[in-house]
Amino acid sequence: MLAVDQLQLQHQQSFRFTWLWLDVGTFTAWCNSHLRKAGTQIENIDEDFRDGLKLMLLLEVISGERLPKPERGKMRVHKINNVNKALDFIASKGVKLVSIGAEEIVDGNAKMTLGMIWTIILRFAIQDISVEETSAKEGLLLWCQRKTAPYKNVNVQNFHISWKDGLAFNALIHRHRPELIEYDKLRKDDPVTNLNNAFEVAEKYLDIPKMLDAEDIVGTLRPDEKAIMTYVSCFYHAFSGAQKAETAANRICKVLAVNQENEHLMEDYEKLASDLLEWIKRTIPWLEDRVPQKTIQEMQQKLEDFRDYRRVHKPPKVQEKCQLEINFNTLQTKLRLSNRPAFMPSEGKMVSDINNGWQHLEQAEKGYEEWLLNEIRRLERLDHLAEKFRQKASIHESWTEGKEAMLKQKDYETATLSDIKALIRKHEAFESDLAAHQDRVEQIAAIAQELNELDYYDSPSVNARCQKICDQWDVLGSLTHSRREALEKTEKQLETIDQLHLEYAKRAAPFNNWMESAMEDLQDMFIVHTIEEIEGLIAAHDQFKSTLPDADKEREAILGIQSEAQRIADYNNIKLSGNNPYTSVTPQIINSKWERVRQLVPKRDHALLDEQSKQQSNEHLRRQFASQANIVGPWIQTKMQEIGRISIEMNGTLEDQLNHLKQYEQSIVDYKPNIDLLEQQHQLIQEALIFDNKHTNYTMEHIRVGWEQLLTTIARTINEVENQILTRDAKGISQEQMQEFRASFNHFDKDHGGSLGPEEFKACLISLGYDVENDRQGDAEFNRIMSLVDPNNSGIVTFQAFIDFMSRETTDTDTADQVIASFKVLAGDKNYITAEELRRELPPDQAEYCIARMAPYQGPDAIPGALDYKSFSTALYGESDL
- The number of beta carbons lying within 10 Å of the beta carbon of residue 448 is 24
Q: Which of the pair, 500 or 407, is modelled with greater confidence? A: 407
Exposure of 262 in the CB half-sphere (CA atoms within 13 A): 24
- The number of beta carbons lying within 10 Å of the beta carbon of residue 90 is 20
What's residue 31's pLDDT? 85
Report the SS3 class of residue 323: helix
Distance of alpha carbon 241 from alpha carbon 239, whole angstroms: 5
Distance of alpha carbon 333 from alpha carbon 721, whole angstroms: 12
Q: What region, left, alpha or beta, does residue 652 occupy, with left being phi > 0 and alpha being psi -120 to 50 degrees?
A: left
* Average pLDDT of the segment spanning 248-264: 79
Listed in order, strand segments (DSSP E) in 35-138 are: none
Distance of alpha carbon 258 from alpha carbon 250, whole angstroms: 12
Distance of alpha carbon 874 from alpha carbon 876, whole angstroms: 5
Give residue 148's Cα distance to chain centre.
54
pLDDT > 60? residue 882 = no
Q: Which of the pair, 171 or 52, is modelled with greater confidence? A: 171
Q: What region, left, alpha or beta, does residue 682 occupy, with left being phi > 0 and alpha being psi -120 to 50 degrees?
A: alpha
What's residue 414's pLDDT? 62
Report the SS3 class of residue 798: strand
pLDDT > 50? residue 825 = yes
* Average pLDDT of the segment spanning 830-834: 91
Q: Which of 476-485, 579-588, 628-637, 726-735 has the lowest mean pLDDT?
A: 726-735
CATH 1.20.58.60 domain range(s) in the chain: 249-381, 419-585, 631-807
Closest by CA position to 703, among listed 715, 687, 685: 685
Give residue 748's Cα distance to chain centre.
33
Share of the chain above pLDDT 90, in %: 7
pLDDT > 80? residue 804 = no
What's residue 492's pLDDT? 56
What's the CATH fold of domain 419-585?
Answer: Methane Monooxygenase Hydroxylase; Chain G, domain 1 (1.20.58)
What's residue 193's pLDDT? 93
Q: Residue 755 is inside which H or E element, if any? A: strand 755-756
Distance of alpha carbon 678 from alpha carbon 684, whole angstroms: 10
3-state secondary structure 29-65: HHHHHHHHHHCCCCCCHHHHCCCCHHHHHHHHHHHCC
Confidence band (pLDDT; 50, 70, 90) for 571?
Answer: low
What's residue 673's pLDDT? 92
What's residue 12's pLDDT? 38
Confidence band (pLDDT; 50, 70, 90) for 506?
Answer: confident
Residue 349 Cα distances to 9, 261, 357, 658, 740, angstroms: 77, 20, 10, 30, 36
* Average pLDDT of the segment spanning 814-819: 75
Closest by CA position to 423, among listed 251, 610, 580, 213: 580
Which amino acid, 182? E
What's residue 200's pLDDT? 92
Residues 6+ apart with CB under 8 A from 147: 171, 172, 175, 176
Provide the CATH number for the domain formed by 249-381 in this structure: 1.20.58.60
What's residue 7's pLDDT? 39
Q: Which of 77-91, 387-401, 452-466, 802-816 has the lowest mean pLDDT?
A: 802-816
- The number of beta carbons lying within 10 Å of the beta carbon of residue 122 is 23
What's residue 15's pLDDT? 31
Residue 542 Cα distances to 189, 548, 862, angstroms: 126, 10, 107
Distance of alpha carbon 231 from alpha carbon 216, whole angstroms: 15
Q: Which of 493-497, 581-585, 696-700 has the lowest mean pLDDT?
A: 493-497
Distance of alpha carbon 733 from alpha carbon 726, whole angstroms: 10
The 10s digit of each residue's pLDDT in 742-770 is 777 777 777 766 778 888 877 888 877 77
Distance of alpha carbon 101 from alpha carbon 47, whole angstroms: 16
Distance of alpha carbon 275 from alpha carbon 867, whole angstroms: 37
* Average pLDDT of the segment spanning 626-632: 88
What's residue 863's pLDDT? 92
What's residue 171's pLDDT? 93
Confidence band (pLDDT; 50, 70, 90) for 731?
Answer: low
* Model pTM score: 0.39
Question: What value does the mean pLDDT of the chain take?
Answer: 80
What's residue 495's pLDDT? 46
pLDDT > 50? residue 22 = no
Q: Which of 86-90, 99-103, 324-328, 399-403 has the lowest mean pLDDT?
A: 99-103
Q: Which of the pair, 568 or 31, is modelled with greater confidence? A: 31
Label residue 789 exposed, middle or buried (CB < 10 Å: 0-12, 13-18, 19+): buried
Report the SS3 class of residue 289: coil
Distance of alpha carbon 827 from alpha carbon 825, whole angstroms: 5
Confidence band (pLDDT; 50, 70, 90) for 154?
Answer: very high
Got the DSSP string for 473-509?
HHHHHHHHHHHHHHHHHSGGGSPPPPHHHHHHHHHHH
Angle at 381 between CA 377 and CA 382, to 5 degrees: 115
Write down the architecture of domain 631-807 according to CATH: Up-down Bundle (1.20)
Name which CATH class applies to 816-877.
mainly alpha
Closest by CA position to 762, among listed 773, 775, 749, 776: 773
The 10s digit of each residue's pLDDT in 348-374 is 888 888 889 888 988 888 887 787 788
3-state secondary structure 801-813: HHHHHHHHHHCCC
Confidence band (pLDDT; 50, 70, 90) for 100?
Answer: confident
Confidence band (pLDDT; 50, 70, 90) for 341?
Answer: confident
Highest mean pLDDT: which of 81-85, 174-178, 226-230, 713-717? 174-178
What's residue 133's pLDDT? 54
Distance of alpha carbon 8 from alpha carbon 10, whole angstroms: 5
Which amino acid, 696? T
The 10s digit of each residue's pLDDT in 766-784 is 877 777 777 777 788 888 8
What's residue 406's pLDDT? 85
* Average pLDDT of the segment spanning 247-256: 74
Closest by CA position to 562, among listed 580, 589, 549, 577: 580
What's residue 4's pLDDT? 38
Confidence band (pLDDT; 50, 70, 90) for 241?
Answer: low
pLDDT > 90? residue 313 = no
Exposure of 344 in the CB half-sphere (CA atoms within 13 A): 5
What's residue 62's pLDDT? 79
Closest by CA position to 784, among listed 755, 762, 752, 754: 762
What's residue 449's pLDDT? 86
Highest mean pLDDT: which of 252-261, 761-770, 835-844? 835-844
